[in-house]
Amino acid sequence: MNKKRAIILGATCFIIVILGTMFYGYKIYSKVKKYDSLIYPRVIIEDEDVSGKTQEEAKKVLNDKYQSLLQNKKINIKVENKTYTIGYSQIGAKYDIDNSVKQAYDYGKGGNVIERYKLLKNPTVKNIKLSFDYSSNTKPIDDLINTIKNQVNRNPKDASVIKNGSNFVITPDQDGFKLKDEELKKDIISAINGQIGSDPVVQGNMETVKANITKEKLSGINTLISTFSTNYGAISSPGRMTNIQLATRTINGKVIMPGETFSFNGILGKRTAEKGYQAAPVDIGKTTGMGLGGGICQVSTTLYNAALLAGIKPTVRTHHSIPSAYVSLGHDATVDYDGKLDYQFKNTFNFPIYIEGSSANGLETFNIYSDGSLKSKTYKVVDDVVEGGKRVKLYLQTYQNGKMIANELISDDTY
């Protein structure tokens, strides 16, 4: 009997153990199963506890708490005394909430049932940062910087000079200012962050832009270095006179800086009736016809000779096909805008050149002014007419201290 009772007792204990194990296993399974769709305990994203929440619930909480605040955030850009702003919503700045929630949801779910249960029973804090994402599209930033540039950039103003009687009056140059746009763009991008709080402030800096023509440079214009005149009154119709006077006024007061090139056609442009030019005789090949701007070759010719006497050689120059009445053979310089005949020279001096032109009382005159140190050399134009008066060679002679130091062939023309 005792033996039978022992067997029954043993069986009962076995059954109890089995049932207990099954119950404990079910408890573990139920606990783990419950969190199959939930985030494990003590999981924190930024400072928000998302324990026991589904992914969608966690996303909603984070969107409401962080993303909405981020969209209201802006960057303040200070340039001079103005403040410009660009919102985070404009630049596509956002938190990658989906990725952070997925990290929270996946936490703890990689182990076996026992390992997962132990983590649920004795959870440890898991901190997950909200990852911040900024779109690489910089167009909104570029657009804002362009707007700022249009408002704050100021071009420098060159100094100018006019001749007043025997004196030169110089209006000083003015500095310009330019936004350091590339630097500002880098600073704006660097300031973009996911921190909730005060809006970042970026300082936009300006750089000074100097004028090309300064008062100091123009002060080198102080001395008459050459002059040349031709008479047009006795050989000109009213229309020709008008053309000569108009062209001369256009050139008068022009300043050619060192290294710059003077272009007759570049300054006058196309000769049109709208500009005031009139029809007058012009040389066409070996004959004479009528054309708008007729007579201004006398202007280019007079200037050409004044320039030669200053030691300024032409870079572009063409002679007429027939001799001119107002200048010696070989001393002329014809121009034609449509025919692309131009008179050009380059200022090879270290000082600017000021051209003064006048056409009063039928006398066409050009005076060239520059620095007085250039007077240490003088120039003489000499022609050598050969072959029955149809061919002429023109030489530019340079003198220093009364001695000729150069004799250069300038042209070899046949009429």
DSSP string of 138-207, one letter each residue:
-HHHHHHHHHHHHHH-B--B--EEEEETTEEEEEPPB-EEEE-HHHHHHHHHHH-----SSPPEEEEPEE
**pLDDT at residue 301 above 50?**
yes
The per-residue pLDDT for 407 is 98
Q: Given a cut of 60, is residue 278 above it in pLDDT?
A: yes
pLDDT in tens, 134-176: 777 789 999 999 999 999 999 999 999 999 999 999 999 999 9
Residue 319 pLDDT > 50: yes
pLDDT of 5 over the 80 cut: no
* Model pLDDT, residue 16: 55
Mean pLDDT (whole number) for 180-201: 91
Structure tokens that stand for 15 in this block: 């059954």
pTM for this entry: 0.73
Tell whether the model's pLDDT for residue 126 goes beyond 90.
yes
Q: How confident is the model at residue 250 (pLDDT cuts 50, 70, 90)?
A: very high
**How far is it, in rounded angstroms, from Cα 392 to Cα 54?**
102
pLDDT over 80 (residue 288): no
With a cut of 60, say whether residue 61 has pLDDT above it.
Answer: yes
Which of the four pLDDT bands, split at 50, 70 and 90, describes residue 19?
very low
For the cut 70, the answer to whether the pLDDT of residue 22 exceeds it is: no
Q: Where do the H-state alpha helices sit in 54-112?
A: 55-62, 68-71, 97-106
Count the Cβ atoms, other than its own, within 10 Å of residue 81: 6
Indicate whether 310 pLDDT > 90. yes
Confidence band (pLDDT; 50, 70, 90) for 66? confident
Identify the pLDDT of residue 12: 57
Q: What is the DSSP string of 218-237?
A: HTT--EEEEEEEEE-GGG--
Share of the chain above pLDDT 90, in %: 74
The mean pLDDT of the chain is: 91
Handedness of CA 214, 216, 222, 226 (dihedral sign): negative
For 85, the token pair is: 């702003």
State the burial class of residue 203 (Cβ atoms within 10 Å of its Cβ: 0-12, 13-18, 19+).
Answer: exposed
Instruction: Give alpha helix (H) positions in 219-291.
Output: 238-251, 264-268
Alpha-carbon distance of 393 to 331, in angstroms, equals: 10
pLDDT at 274 over 50: yes
pLDDT, mean of residues 120-140 = 87
Instruction: Quote the CA–CA distance of 35 and 109 in Å, as a whole number.
Output: 9
Q: Among 37-51, 105-119, 399-413, where is mean pLDDT lowest?
A: 105-119
Judged by average pLDDT, the poorest of 2-11, 48-57, 85-94, 206-215 is: 2-11
How large is the average pLDDT for residues 212-226?
96
How much is the average pLDDT of 289-311? 95
> How many other CB atoms are found less than 10 A from the CB of residue 245?
21
| Residue 172 identity | P
Cβ neighbours for 86, distance < 8 A, ≥ 6 positions apart: 74, 75, 77, 140, 141, 144, 188
Q: In the 8-state DSSP scheme, what is residue 358? A: E
